[in-house]
Amino acid sequence: MAIARSRMARTRRINLRATDRQETLIRTGAQLAGASVTDFIIDSACSQAERVLADKREFAASPKQWRAFVTVLDQPARVKPALARLFSEASADERESTK
């Protein structure tokens, strides 16, 4: 399986340290993928970063879970007295600026 190559000029440097075992593993993986070590590391790190970010932006739900979620979203907002009090208080920055 070939690794996708970036067409954009690389202008940033990322330095990292690895154990002998990690370096060997990465070099072997890159070689078997037909990629340079740089391409292999960048592509692997970017794929992992995309998965982590997607996990924070997207979630999967069954049709039943989705209907329950939408039902809750469609309900009118409720005033929570403790939250209303919290938002009505001056922030530390506001209190500091009035001194």
Nearest to 44 by CA among 56, 57, 33, 55: 33
Residue 41 inside a domain? The answer is yes
Could you tell me what percent of the chain has a pLDDT over 90? 61
83 vs 8, which has greater pLDDT? 83
Residue 75 inside a domain? The answer is yes
Structural domains in the chain (count):
1
Residue 46 has pLDDT above 70, yes or no: yes
- Domain containing residue 91: 20-97
Distance from C-alpha of 88 to C-alpha of 77, rounded to nearest angstrom = 18
pLDDT tens digits along 17-44: 999 999 999 999 999 999 999 999 999 9
Residue 3 inside a domain? The answer is no
Residue 73 inside a domain? The answer is yes
Residue 14 inside a domain? The answer is no
- The answer to whether 2 touches 35, Cβ cutoff 8 Å, is yes
- How far is C-alpha 76 from the geometric centre of its chain's CA atoms? 31
Q: Residue 22: what are its φ and ψ, rounded to 5°?
A: -65, -40
